[in-house]
Amino acid sequence: MNRPRVLHVYKDYFPPVLGGIEKTINLLGQGTRDEFDISVLVCKGPEPAGESIVDGVHVIRVPEWGRFSSAPISPAFVTALRKHGAAADLLHLHHPNPTGDVAFLLTRPKAPAVMTYHSDIVRQKYSMLLFAPFQKRVMASCRYIMPTSPNYIESSPWLGQFRDKCSVVPLGIKLEDFDATPEVQGLIPGIRSRFPGPCVIFVGRLRYYKGLQFLLPAMRNLEATLLIVGTGPMEPSLKEQVTHLGLAERVHFLGNLPHSQLVAHLRASDCFVMPSHLRSEAFGLSQVEAMACGLPVVSTNIPTGVPFVNQDSVTGFTVAPESPQAMSDALGKLLGNGELRATMGTAARQRAETLFSASAMCAGVKAIYRQALKDR
């Protein structure tokens, strides 16, 4: 018996692109191909155009002319979706993806479609005025829409219009990838020797919505080290701010780390911080990675999935965004109380195991696939 064919539609894929959505699509491909034949349609990005099998998943990369507001300009995407959409039993759209949405409306595949709604389009407000009618038609065409948290349904003006289609499927990671392997354990003593004393860690792209400019003043009130893992366009201004605040000896920019080094730095730290202050931070998957390592989290109570992941006063603390004092107070509570850190760290690991594993995410998505195919 032939298995149902599912076609994921997005702009990029991991590998090589390291974004959260790209990694999620990769995990979904790996975690659902026991029951479904999985293909992924994306633009070529940094890779050559063409078709290949990547870890058992059929990946189709099409040419593009360039990008506008991060959206690929690709007439070939329309042609490819017409061809591969006709062969699919189910389409899985990933939002935001204006290129894919326009192609979907132009080709109108006969197969039913579902959508993972990763985030609103937040920053490109003027472009959104033009794109809004297309997005509404695509969402109306989907059988089911999968937001990644209940919080986002309440705060998104788009999801509120399609509440009857929504079924929450939280994002997940391979928890075992963050275990304390012998390699990781061997790296930890050197990290603690290099960065002695209480240690706070941030992991993520250094982008406008991450709120690091509010975290740095908070560090002035703490006798602690801050490790910043990641790179991005905000790095030069953040380094300048560190110098201006006189924090150069206690704030360290580590760049992008190999995975084993990332896990070791997380496990060598005392707590994790996510100071994001805008709705562009729709979920905060790096919180889950830290929780998988048994770290308590200090994050912000922005109206997205961020405080859904990190339960206030259970797995850590959630504080007001853009408030260095609130951030400092919460970090101080954790750094000054080892028993509290251990209790919240254990709760964080348990919450990650219960809600945010790759297997739980894939099980939720497979249930939606079955229902959408049954409804045909």
Dump pLDDT digits (tens) for 191-228. 999 999 899 999 998 999 999 999 999 999 999 999 99
In degrees rounded to 5, what are phi and psi of residue 226? -115, 125
- pTM equals 0.92
152, 65: one domain: yes
Can you name the residues that pair with 225 across neighbouring β-strands?
199
161, 281: one domain: no
209, 245: one domain: yes
The set of residues, in sequence order, having a beta carbon less than 8 Å from that of 130 and lying 6+ positions away, is none
**Mean predicted lDDT score pLDDT of the chain:** 94
195, 86: one domain: no
Identify the CATH number of the domain in which residue 73 sits. 3.40.50.2000
Q: Which amino acid is at 356?
A: F
158, 190: one domain: no
Number of structural domains in the chain? 2
153, 184: one domain: no
> How many Å apart are CA 324 and CA 121, to the nearest integer?
27
Residue length of the chain: 376
For residues 12 and 22, is the Cβ–Cβ distance under 8 A?
yes
Which strands form 297-300's sheet, in the order they lie side by side?
251-255, 225-229, 199-203, 271-274, 297-300, 316-319
223, 261: one domain: yes
141, 70: one domain: yes
Determine the straight-line distance between the first and last CA of the chain, rounded to whole angstroms. 18
For residue range 265-305, list pLDDT tens digits in order.
Answer: 999 999 999 999 999 899 999 999 999 999 999 999 999 99
In the structure, what pLDDT confidence band is assigned to residue 81 with cuts at 50, 70 and 90?
very high
For residues 114 and 92, is the Cβ–Cβ distance under 8 A?
yes
344, 195: one domain: yes
195, 267: one domain: yes
60, 197: one domain: no
Question: What's the pLDDT score for residue 116?
Answer: 98
In degrees rounded to 5, what are phi and psi of residue 55? 55, 40
Identify the domain containing residue 179 by its residue range: 175-355
204, 261: one domain: yes
Query: How many CA atoms within 13 Å lie on the side-chain side of 192?
Result: 13
